[in-house]
Amino acid sequence: MTMSTQNLLVELFVEELPPKALKKLGDAFAGELAAQLRNLGLADANSVVTPYAAPRRLAAHVTNVWRKAADKTVQQKLMPVSVGIDAAGQATPALLKKLQALGADLSKPAQAVAALRRAPDGKAEALFYDSVVTGATLDTGLQKALEEAIARLPIPKVMSYQLETDCELPGWSSVQFVRPAHGLVALHGSSVVPVDVLGLNAGRHTQGHRFEAKVSPVRIADADSYADSLREDGAVIASFAERRAEIARQLAAAAVMAGGGADGARAAVLRPIEDEALLDEVTGLVERPNVLVCAFEPVFLDVPQECLILTMKANQKYFPLLDTADKLSNKFLVVSNISPADASAVIGGNERVVRPRLADAKFFYDQDRKKTLASRVPGLDKVVYHNKLGTQGERMQRVRALAGAICGQLGDPALGAVVDTAARLAKTDLLTDMVGEFPELQGIMGGYYARHDGLGDVVALAIEDHYKPRFAGDELPRNAVGVVVALADKLETLVGMFGIGNLPTGDKDPFALRRHALGVLRMLIEKDLPLSLEALIGSAVPVFGDRIVDASAALTDFIFERLAGILREQGYSATEVDAVLVLRPQHLGDVARRLAAVRVFAALPEAPALAAANKRISNILKKAPDVDAHVSSLLLLEPAEIALYAAMQDLAPQAQAQFEAGDYTASLKTLAALRVPVDDFFDAVMVNADEPDLRLNRQGLLKSLHQAMNRVADLSKLVA
């Protein structure tokens, strides 16, 4: 390579980009641009790409970019020599046609053919055409890379807008992009790369902050001065990561300042609420952040803090301040995009804006408490849940019935009355003004209103928690009543949706059935509930009457697939998981103990032989499906089968007792002692004897052995 590399900077200057998508757009633009340049040979694996993403710009800085890619020698196999050269040593029409398609100079065919290279190709000799492909120039290569990067952007929603054309007769051309684009910068070192895209020609000028830029436009001298020039002359922090870190730093500092008293003596420890998504969104809204401390009237703190926090975050993009007990204070932080010498007007404006929002929340809260949750129950009959599954009122009755059945399976009748109250009222907060305005508060507001109605903490917590776990890693319901209602609620959804054929497909899961299944699994496993999955699903099907078909088998498969995924994520091998789950254990709290036992067993020296023998036994029994586990000692003739039967008589009861006590590891270790008699049996005994009585007896012996060995897991799955 005769030419040294220089760094490249490309910026698209656009109207305000969607803040929630900004980071993803910035990373995708820079990553795809660099990838395209590498594919063209204009950059290599050592080139470092730095993404920039601000509300009005997407940019990428790429190091070590060549002005021209190296030429490449391309070797292409044409055809066997016998096909391309005839008996007279002349080129065949097939060879000439191939050379013409490749663009070879055929003005002198003999010379063109002579230039071909002959080389062995398997048993025959083939003709190869060697050519040199001229490397791409940066002008053409960047044009292609830029077009590809724009085409592949993960744009949430495309906008169409018009550009005025430069032809003699004024007209308009339509352009599609995430937002209207107004500027393009492309610098290789200090030189402008003449590319164009979205109706824009590249230059070295961009725009800074709308109000605080020192100069307009901002001149970018070279690729490496981009970020510094924008910061100094444009009052813009171009890097998303740097801007995000600066906001986090200012939030922490402002929280300390907000906690200090006027005289410094009455200091409170405050911290901004932790919300990564909100921090990302605000980073996508400001070009140069300035965090300010604001406050609202303490009277609003009488409203449940979840309501106030939600309206401040969702509607205003503010950061509420919490104390050390996680209680909301009456102060909050605003991330402003301007930095006036006197910020009082900005602070006052934000305080005026938030006040009506908080007043609305207080109004909703006061109005809702004028009606009890119980008085809202009839209203559930007027709310459609699903056109095939009826109203929320009908759904509530199904959940009540299923919750009662779960209490029966738990053997705790005393739980029934409280569970029934919670299940009857769990959905009534859907009819309140507060939840109507903020659907995210369903359940939470039901808990507050239940306490106001004098229903006590047990019912209130159950109503609040019955949606849990709402997401991966969320906490489980805090009391037994909440667990039962949550189980009933999720199972009702799963059984109902499977029963009408509303199954998840691909990445589409509109009723969050995967999440519901994971929630059921977590409660059954982490609470170690003595409940059978089969019995739970079986209890849920009848409560729907004739509204659904019984899809229990498909739903069971679906739930066990989710469980297998969870276990693999926890570090268990696919073989271990398959060995345990193929038995479909019904007490899911036992699964971890079964897996631990399988892992210990698999490490024993006897394990491979016993697993192989178990697989052999399974194959034998598949051909004799009707045989039972009965053995007559009178029909045991061979010493090896007598010895195996005796060993089983000694070890099987011991292993069974250990299994029933939940000591699965000990049970499998006990059975490991059967290795020698099992090996001897298969070495010395013909199972499929000609005499029917002997054959059935030996099959019965193997059936007894198979049952004893596979209570914890299917050991045949451990065969490599």
| pLDDT single digits (tens) 519-551 | 999 999 999 999 999 999 999 999 999 999 999
Model confidence at 75, in pLDDT bands (50, 70, 90)?
confident
Q: Which tens digit of pLDDT belongs to each residue from 148-159?
A: 999 999 988 888
Assess whether 342 and 254 both reside in one domain: yes
Left, alpha or beta for 696 (phi > 0: left; psi -120 to 50: alpha)?
alpha
587/592 Cα distance (integer angstroms): 11
* H or E element, residue 680: helix 675-684
- Summarize the confidence of residues 133-154 as an average pLDDT: 91
Q: Which of 60-69, 366-375, 618-627, 674-683 has the lowest mean pLDDT?
A: 618-627
CATH of the domain at 653: 1.10.730.10
Q: Is the pLDDT of residue 73 over 80?
A: no
Q: Which of 555, 571, 587 is the last residue of a domain?
A: 571
User: Comparing C-alpha atoms, which of 237, 191, 241 is closest to residue 213?
Assistant: 237
Assess whether 56 and 188 both reside in one domain: yes
Model confidence at 615, in pLDDT bands (50, 70, 90)?
confident
Q: Which tens digit of pLDDT belongs to each residue from 250-292?
A: 999 999 999 874 444 456 789 999 999 999 999 999 999 999 9
In sequence order, the 6+-apart residues with CB closer than 8 A to the CB of 624 are 699
Q: Which tens digit of pLDDT belongs to each residue from 353-392?
A: 999 999 999 999 999 999 999 999 999 999 999 999 999 9
- Summarize the confidence of residues 60-71 as an average pLDDT: 92
The answer to whether residue 589 is domain-embedded is no
Assess whether 194 and 228 both reside in one domain: yes
Q: Say what the pTM is.
A: 0.79
Assess whether 199 and 284 both reside in one domain: no
Please tell me what DSSP assigns to residue 674: T
Assess whether 288 and 307 both reside in one domain: yes
The answer to whether residue 595 is domain-embedded is no
Assess whether 529 and 398 both reside in one domain: yes
Assess whether 349 and 222 both reside in one domain: no
Assess whether 222 and 157 both reside in one domain: yes
Supply the pLDDT for residue 618: 85
Assess whether 108 and 166 both reside in one domain: no
Alpha-helical segments (H) within 453-512 = 456-465, 480-499
The answer to whether residue 460 is domain-embedded is yes
Q: Which of 571, 592, 615 is the last residue of a domain?
A: 571
The answer to whether residue 588 is domain-embedded is no
Count CA within 13 A, CB hemisphere, residue 178.
27
Assess whether 117 and 167 both reside in one domain: no
Output the average pLDDT for the chain: 90
The answer to whether residue 314 is domain-embedded is yes
Provide the pairing of β-strand 159-164 with 172-177: antiparallel
Residue 166 structural domain: 6-69+137-234
- Summarize the confidence of residues 74-102 as an average pLDDT: 83
Supply the pLDDT for residue 77: 85
576/664 Cα distance (integer angstroms): 14
The answer to whether residue 96 is domain-embedded is yes
Q: Which of 89, 113, 133 is the last residue of a domain?
A: 133
Looking at the 3D structure of the chain, how many domains does it have?
Answer: 5
The answer to whether residue 669 is domain-embedded is yes
- For 29, 319, 461, the CA distances from 204, given in Å and listed in that order, are 19, 38, 61
Assess whether 389 and 338 both reside in one domain: no
- For 67, 69, 145, the CA distances from 1, given in Å and listed in that order, are 11, 9, 22
Assess whether 252 and 170 both reside in one domain: no
The answer to whether residue 705 is domain-embedded is yes
